[in-house]
Amino acid sequence: MCGIIGYIGTEDCANLILEGLRRLEYRGYDSAGIAIITDGRFEIRRAAGKLDRLAEALRGEPVSGTIGIGHTRWATHGPPTELNAHPHRAGDVVVVHNGIIENHRVLKAELLAEGHTFSSETDTEIVAHLVSRERGRGHGLVEAVRLALLQVHGAYAIAALDRTDPETLVAAKNASPLVVGLGDGANYLASDIPAILQHTRRVVFLDEGQMVVLRRSGATFQHIATGAPFEPKVQVINWTPAMAEKGGYRHFMLKEIHEQPRAVTDTLRERVRIERGTVELDGLNLTDEQLAGFSRAVIIACGTSWHAGLVGEYLIEQFSRLPVEVELASEFRYREPCVDEKVLVIAVSQSGETADTLAAIKETQSRGSHVLAVCNVVGSSIVRLSNSNLMTHAGPEVSVASTKAFTTQIAALYLLAVKLGLARGTLQPGRAAVLLQDLIEVPSAIETVLETPASEYVALARRFGNATSMLYLGRGTSFPIALEGALKTKELSYIHAEGYAAGEMKHGPIALIDESVPSVVVCPMGPHFDKTLSNVAETRARGGAVIAVTTPSGAERIGSDADAVLVVPEAPDHVMAFLTAIPMQLLAYHIADFKGTDVDQPRNLAKSVTVE
């Protein structure tokens, strides 16, 4: 949601900023802009719509300069027009902003009464005016930004420039992500790492309430509240730029689906000790005694990460007998949750920046719970806030629709389930070794699923892609997989799709079935196969087409009872979710591709949901 880029150095930076913005496109946006200081004046170009429109504006009227900021805006206050696009200017100052200024009405009224005039409907323009007002009171840019931010309430990451001070780029963070890239004679700013990865791997993640002053010679850090300087923690990122590129695939999503064998392998690497039947979880700051002492676990997450949490619930309860609840962070945070120090809270998030999950974490920590983050982004807000972490090693996920993050989250939760089982004595090392062996065979089984010819999915997309409504059904861990299949379909192809526990069919959803509503039934051979087969029959009996996702022995049993079958390899029930997730992703991908929707950046969606 909104992307920020900043540069100060010796290179002409318009293209560098535009390229950085392209690498932030996945965050979702609907207008964009850039401001560069040239010979003591601002050159500002803005455009509604995609970055190509901004590139066009820059070709029409090129700009050059060695200090600048850029922004992709995801509209919150005011429609996505050129006038509302950032950067916003007031006097000698321009500002870009990610987040929401909650007290914008009060501040705007105050500024209007003082004679300030506004040219946009955004809350951001107010920040530019506040900084400009402080400049007018005689403060330098850095102090002016700090004093302006003390008047602002809300979530923000901002970057500001002053045309009379082309040696200084100031940025600050409160809630929305911001990373500083440290280069040689040049320094960078971005909302996310891939945007600056080709320039530097040395980064500092700003924490809440911190600001940075970038100059060509280096960066200095201070607290917004006091102005007091501090020494930052510099981290070296080991992602290569190629990891954030499309690598020959038509879409990031397809590339990321195909990266899953590698991503799951990386998530398991150096954590599984088959010979001893144990797991070692770096980042877990809990002893076995502490793990054994919890009375309950609560998993909090949103969207796809919530679905991974639901799979985790089955695994943790089965392996460790620890009761688990899985909660939508957006609901949980407002519910005065019943948690305390006896409850292990597991926060699952790809980005580590999801506002609802962050707020839910704070809520549980204030009640004494230990929070373990299952997260993909090192240094993200959720990782920094949590008491422990279990990193997924999916690598950068660019496509808005989450795929490899999902399977790596399940892998991390599987490891945690085994760890808990061992600590609580419900698993003996011998049994744990078997479960871990099943887990390390998952990447090659995923490879097998990925070998299914694309033509099978293309044919299904042609046959069912014009449906206006679809159902996804499953039992056991196939239920969250059905939910995930429905979510992928609706977000990518805008088809109304519902996921249900297959056993719920007869309690209502079966009324939806007719010839126009195809159902995807996740029914691998295993403990739930026979029951789910009955659901296939009930659906067919009402004229509904069925796409069965099953194993070879399941396909044999189903025979012609389904209209189409997608096959995954036979595997134990506790690893089946990894395998059935893949056809869900590929089917949704191919339907979207058939419909010609924007696969990597579906409408109205943002990769990193940093506002409520």
Q: Which is nearer to ligand F6R, 105 or 496 (CB)?
A: 496
- Contact characters 591-610, ligand F6R, x per CB under 6 A: ------------------x-
Question: Strand 324-328 to strand 296-301: parallel, antiparallel, or no bridges (unpaired)?
Answer: parallel
Question: What angle in degrees, to the nearest 10, is found between the helix axes of 442-450 and 260-268?
Answer: 180
| Residues counted in the chain | 612
Residue-wise over 562-573: b if at least 16 C-beta within 10 A, else e?
Answer: bbbbbbbbbbeb
Site for ligand F6R contains 493 (CB under 6 A): no
| Closer residue to ligand F6R, CB minimum distance, 197 or 483 | 483
Structure tokens at 430: 């011998």
Count of residues that interact with ligand F6R, criterion CB under 6 A: 14
Closest contact distance (angstroms) between CB of 608 and ligand F6R is: 6
Catalytic residue of the set 2, 302, 375, 523: 2
What are φ and ψ of residue 298, in 5° steps?
-125, 125
State yes or no: residue 389 binds ligand F6R (CB under 6 A): no
The least distance separating ligand F6R from the CB of residue 228, rounded to whole angstroms, comes to: 32
Q: Which residues, 280 to 309, sit near ligand F6R by CB under 6 A?
A: 302-305
User: Which residue's CB atom is positioned nearest to ligand F6R?
Assistant: 303
Distance of closest approach, residue 492 Cβ to ligand F6R, in angstroms: 8
Long-range CB contact pairs, 163-168, < 8 A, 24+: 163/37, 163/40, 163/41, 163/42, 163/92, 163/94, 164/40, 164/92, 165/140, 165/141, 166/37, 166/40, 166/65, 166/67, 167/8, 167/67, 167/215, 167/216, 168/8, 168/141, 168/142, 168/213, 168/214, 168/215
**CA distances (Å), 212 to each of 142, 143, 222, in order?**
9, 11, 6
Among this protein's residues, is 375 annotated catalytic?
Answer: no
Please say if 607 is a catalytic residue: yes
Contact 219, 412 (CB under 8 A): no
Residue 122 or 349 having the CB closest to ligand F6R: 349
Tell whether the torsion through CA atoms of 457, 459, 465 and 467 is positive or negative: negative
User: By CB under 6 A, is residue 84 in contact with ligand F6R?
Assistant: no
Which C-beta is closer to ligand F6R: that of 190 or that of 588? 588
> What is the closest distance, in whole angstroms, from the C-beta atom of residue 454 to ligand F6R in the complex?
21
Contact 495, 469 (CB under 8 A): yes
Residues 340-359 that bind ligand F6R (CB under 6 A): 349-351, 354, 357
Q: What is the C-alpha separation between 7 and 316, in angstroms, rounded?
A: 46
Site mask, ligand F6R, residues 392-431, x = CB under 6 A?
Answer: ---------xx-----------------------------
Contact letters for ligand F6R, residues 323-342 (x by CB under 6 A): --------------------
- Give whichever of 187 and 354 is closer to ligand F6R, judged by the CB atom: 354
Q: Kindly tell me which of 483 and 555 has the beta carbon lying closer to ligand F6R.
A: 483
In this structure, what token pair is assigned to residue 509?
């959803």
- The catalytic site residues sit at 2, 607
Residues lying near ligand F6R in the complex (CB under 6 A) are found at 302-305, 349-351, 354, 357, 401-402, 487, 491, 609
